[in-house]
Structure 1
Amino acid sequence: MLFRQLEYLVALSREHHFARAAQACSVSQPALSEAIRKLEDELDVPLVRRGRKYEGLTPEGERIVVWAQRILADRDALRDEVGALRCGLSGRMRIGSVPTASAAVSLLTGPFCTEHPLVTVEVIADLQSEDILRQLQNFEIDAGITYLPEELSGHFQAIPLYEERYVLLITAADGLAHQSTATWAEAARLPLCLLNESMQGRRVLDDVFAKAGAKPVPRVETDSVAALFAHVRTGRWASVVPHAWLHVFGVPHGMRAVPLVEPDWTVPVGLVTTSQQPGSVMARALTEVATETDVAGALERLPGGPALPLA
């Protein structure tokens, strides 16, 4: 059995198509198909349901893919470990993040890259929490920054980074702009631009609005936090944004960020990695950086300005 055969099987499971899997592995389709057939012969089980086109993996194939992902991840971890012992950590680290938490990622990647100058970091910042946990378990990413559930599966370990809370972003001309706080019910009555309903950040907002006995009816929805700021800037809309993004954008001229109350609501955000040992050397290195970095404190400071919250 060769690592290459396992790589081909994992690619086929991910792409659901022989031609795309072959392209992802930079081989011809016949070469990929033949390698998987040889793997089936070696294991003496059918791995792929074959018809006129790819019809998925067999139950045995699904189980073998899990082992293949684990074996390949251990191989990569071994290479990274040996490389780190020889000349310092090098290679590529992959971080997944929920969109609303991506503002905090740079607070970790900055010191990480300073400490490990030979490592390249890839950040995927448009994932949902369930995507992050799935990709961690499938060894597709090394670490994730996401909302922390009350109970996390034993397959994972987490380091809390900060408590996400929300502010009402409005123009300075709005009547609520002169208040020290605004209620969620007051926010729901404004013409709102919010994240779209498919995003976990929006589902969190809807839950909080419901606790306040309110139901917002946004006129504009988007999958971009930056787009929320852009829409408020036009003067036609208000929005509810995570306070962490004020650390990136500040409070733009002509706008106000008013803390939301009734209820006072926060959601824990943390760095999640797999609990498998010895695990990814990249994940261990990032975890060390996270334990030494005051992410929460940094997010309370506006760029070049005072601490949050602002009104």
Structure 2
Amino acid sequence: MIEKLEYFIALASERHFGRAAERLGITQPTLSAGLRHLEEQLGVTLVNRGSRFQGVTAEGERVLAWARRIVGDVRSMRDEIASGRAQLSGTLRIAVIPTALAVVSRLTTPFHDKHPDVAYDIQSMTSADIAQGVEDFEVDIGLTYIEDERVRRLDTRFLYAERYCLVTTEGNAFSERAEVSWAEVASIPLCLLSSSMQNRRILDRHLTAEGRQVRTVLESNSMVALITHVRTGRFATIMPLRTAEILRFGAPIVMVPIAGGVSYRIGLVTARRAPRPALIEAFWNEVAAVGLS
């Protein structure tokens, strides 16, 4: 039944029979037959079918919640049994907001030194997708804003405060200033993260305060795309100080702190369950000693 539950989870995630089959590495007829078998075993209709996928039924939604937990627990059981035979092993699935990607290596590198048999699957996601992915057991650990209301049902661990700076190049507006205000930053053309990102919504609240208008000349969901445009000498952006320090790579980039003491708490999130899988528990506890705050 575990295999059929995995079929159902993949279909609910992809919302398309062909893409779900491709993700699972099986044929579409095998997927359809497996779902019909699962429905027969459970005695309910899980999926509304027509010429294409038409959504999960109400009964299917309840089964889906159980399926994600069951499949997650089976995966954790396998990892824990394997780790009991030797040192920790398996793959740790980590989802990270774009502004925190630059600091992930400071967490994974010391952990890898201690547990060399552990592999990592690191994905860049929005804060909303991270919260949902952790709840659905599709993500083991998230690195995101821990004051976001969407993580209230999850376990959280504070790591550091995200503070902002104007990132520009020598000779551009405000590049020789020791500090700059939000109003001043709002007065120049900017490259910013996409509006779907939590970081962008945070910045917009400060940039557009008091009715200010902001001119955004470029949007991207990639911090690398932003920094490469700044390198041309024609653009500026706003980044967390830690990210800017890592991404500038010795280029003639200037970082000017933005006044006002604005900061947001970044930390780890994981599903609230006991006991935690051994691999997740070890990472959760050992990164506390890294000291990013």
TM-score, length of structure 1 as denominator length:
0.88
Alignment of 1:293 onto 2:277? no
Alignment of 1:135 onto 2:133? yes
How far apart in 2 are the matches of 1:71 and 1:122? 21
- Number of the residue aligned with 1:44: 43
- Number of the residue aligned with 2:59: 60
- Number of the residue aligned with 1:304: none
How far apart in 1 are the matches of 2:183 and 2:74? 53
Q: How many residues align?
A: 293
Q: For residues 36 and 219 of structure 1, do their structure 2 counterparts lie closer, same or farther at Cα, with a shift above 3 Å needed?
A: closer
Of 280, 284, 287 in structure 1, the residue corresponding to residue 281 of structure 2 is 284
How far apart in 1 are the matches of 2:241 and 2:75? 37
Query: What amino acid maps onto 1:179 in structure 2?
Result: R
Alignment of 1:172 onto 2:170? yes
Gaps (5+ residues) in structure 2?
none
How far apart in 2 are the matches of 1:44 and 1:21? 23
Aligned-residue RMSD, C-alpha = 1.9
Q: Secondary structure at the match of 2:216?
A: coil
Q: Which structure 2 residues correspond to residues 189-268 of structure 1 after superposition, within 5 A?
A: 189-211=187-209, 214-250=212-248, 252-261=250-259, 263-268=260-265
What is the CA distance between 1:98 and its match in structure 2? Answer: 0.6
How far apart in 1 are the matches of 2:119 and 2:40? 38
- Number of the residue aligned with 1:303: none
How far apart in 2 are the matches of 1:256 and 1:137? 39
Q: Secondary structure at the match of 1:165?
A: strand
Q: Secondary structure at the match of 1:176?
A: coil
How far apart in 2 are the matches of 1:122 and 1:99? 15
Gaps (5+ residues) in structure 1?
297-311
How far apart in 2 are the matches of 1:201 and 1:264? 16
How far apart in 1 are the matches of 2:197 and 2:178? 29
How far apart in 1 are the matches of 2:287 and 2:253? 32
Q: Which structure 2 residues correspond to residues 70-219 of structure 1 after superposition, within 5 A?
A: 70-125=69-124, 127-149=125-147, 153=151, 155-174=153-172, 176-211=174-209, 214-219=212-217
Q: Secondary structure at the match of 1:64?
A: helix
How far apart in 2 are the matches of 1:151 and 1:24? 31
- Number of the residue aligned with 2:11: 12
Q: For residues 120 and 149 of structure 1, do their structure 2 counterparts lie closer, same or farther at Cα, with a shift above 3 Å needed?
A: same
Query: What amino acid maps onto 1:73 in structure 2?
Result: G
How far apart in 2 are the matches of 1:154 and 1:255? 38
Q: For residues 281 and 211 of structure 1, do their structure 2 counterparts lie closer, same or farther at Cα, with a shift above 3 Å needed?
A: farther
- Once structures 1 and 2 are overlaid, which stretch shifts more, 129-138 or 282-291? 282-291
TM-score, length of structure 2 as denominator length:
0.93
What is the CA distance between 1:144 and its match in structure 2? Answer: 0.4
- Once structures 1 and 2 are overlaid, which stretch shifts more, 78-87 or 272-281? 272-281
Contact 1:93 1:119 (C-alpha < 8 Å) held by counterparts: yes
How far apart in 2 are the matches of 1:115 and 1:46? 47
- Once structures 1 and 2 are overlaid, which stretch shifts more, 53-62 or 127-136? 53-62
What is the CA distance between 1:239 and its match in structure 2? Answer: 1.7
- Number of the residue aligned with 1:306: none
1:37-66 CA-to-partner distances (Å, cap 9, x unmatched) read: 222122111112222332222111111111
- Number of the residue aligned with 1:309: none
Contact 2:189 2:216 (C-alpha < 8 Å) held by counterparts: yes
- Once structures 1 and 2 are overlaid, which stretch shifts more, 2-11 or 214-223? 214-223
- Once structures 1 and 2 are overlaid, which stretch shifts more, 266-275 or 30-39? 30-39
Q: For residues 226 and 150 of structure 1, do their structure 2 counterparts lie closer, same or farther at Cα, with a shift above 3 Å needed?
A: closer
How far apart in 1 are the matches of 2:256 and 2:181? 10
What is the CA distance between 1:142 and its match in structure 2? Answer: 0.3
What is the CA distance between 1:237 and its match in structure 2? Answer: 1.9
What is the CA distance between 1:151 and its match in structure 2? Answer: 5.1
Contact 1:48 1:58 (C-alpha < 8 Å) held by counterparts: yes
Contact 1:156 1:272 (C-alpha < 8 Å) held by counterparts: yes
How far apart in 2 are the matches of 1:235 and 1:54? 48
What is the CA distance between 1:234 and its match in structure 2? Answer: 2.0
What is the CA distance between 1:13 and its match in structure 2? Answer: 1.2
Query: What amino acid maps onto 1:235 in structure 2?
Result: G
Contact 1:162 1:295 (C-alpha < 8 Å) held by counterparts: yes
